[in-house]
Amino acid sequence: MLNEEMFLAVREEVTQAKAILVAITKQRPIADIRRMYELGQRDFGENRVPELIEKREALPNDIRWHFVGHLQRNKVSGITPFIHLIHAGDSPRLIRQINKDAAKDGRIVPVLLQYHIADEASKYGLDPAHPAAVLSELNLKELPNVLISGVMGMATYTDVDEQIAGEFNALHEAFTFLKNKHFSEQKDFATLSMGMSGDYPIALQRGSTMVRVGSLLFN
Ligand SMILES: *Cc1c(COP(=O)(O)O)cnc(C)c1O
């Protein structure tokens, strides 16, 4: 169930830091999303395409839907007609696929480059030590239907705040590097998506512009 008091407190804290709260509602009922909507929330995130499509059909159409988590290429076309932001641009092949499907819908779809900053094994995410490598593999001029609008990352799941802070700093550095060296002409390269239930205060301190908070908002 939605914890309204917690939701409002977290949103206030995030707004004070001039960041955007994306409420992650995967596996949460539509009634909870509707209640948050009534309380003024418009940014919601999901990590499964069928669930996202089902919820979108049941809810008001001014919601901004975010896709978080790994996206399979054969699922992309289900969300390109409406998605507000794809946080998980984790491979050149996926980004090319998004361009292709977005072109069919006549849309330009915003995508974040997802970097693997955690000290945990994962198949997904780009290498933050070489933030621009993905750009040399992609010729963005040939991909007019994607708009690379920032970066995203997930810190290690740990109690050690210094480690989390170090990982968020590394992501912020990759963001700044790309912004200055590769996107200086593009004002909308502006999103640094980092911070979840366990670490969003640290992320805000380290310059996050968008946090993705789920479990903390629910009982
Ligand atoms: C589930 C999820 C979140 C939210 O995680 P919580 O710990 O529940 O806040 C954020 N980002 C991604 C990519 C997720 O899959």
User: Cα(199)–Cα(12) distance, rounded to whole angstroms?
Assistant: 16
Per residue in 169-197, is it b (16+ CB within 10 Å) or e — as a string? ebbbebbeebbeeebeeeeebebbbbbbe
Q: Are strands 109-115 and 146-153 parallel, antiparallel or unpaired?
A: parallel
pTM: 0.97
Domain segments of the chain as ranges: 4-214
pLDDT at residue 79, as a whole number: 98
Q: What is the pLDDT of residue 164?
A: 98
Query: What pLDDT, on the 0 to 100 scale, is given for residue 204?
Result: 98
Distance 176 CA to ligand 1 centre (A): 24
DSSP designation for 155: -
Over residues 47-72, the pLDDT tens digits come to 999 999 999 999 999 999 999 999 99
> φ, ψ for residue 214 (rounded to 5)?
-120, -85
| Per-residue model confidence (pLDDT) at position 34 | 98
Ranges of residues in the chain with a pLDDT under 70 are: none
d(CA 208, CA 202): 9
How many A from CA of 27 to the centre of ligand 1? 11
Angle between helices 30-38 and 49-58 (to 10 degrees): 50
Residue 215 CB less than 6 A away from ligand 1: yes
| Ligand 1 atom having least distance to the Cα of 212 | 10
Residue 122: the pLDDT is: 84
Beta carbons of 216 and 6 less than 8 angstroms apart: yes
- What's the CATH code, domain 4-214? 3.20.20.10
Q: How far is the CA of 196 from the centre of ligand 1 (A)?
A: 6
User: Relative to the CA of 213, which ligand 1 atom is closest?
Assistant: 9
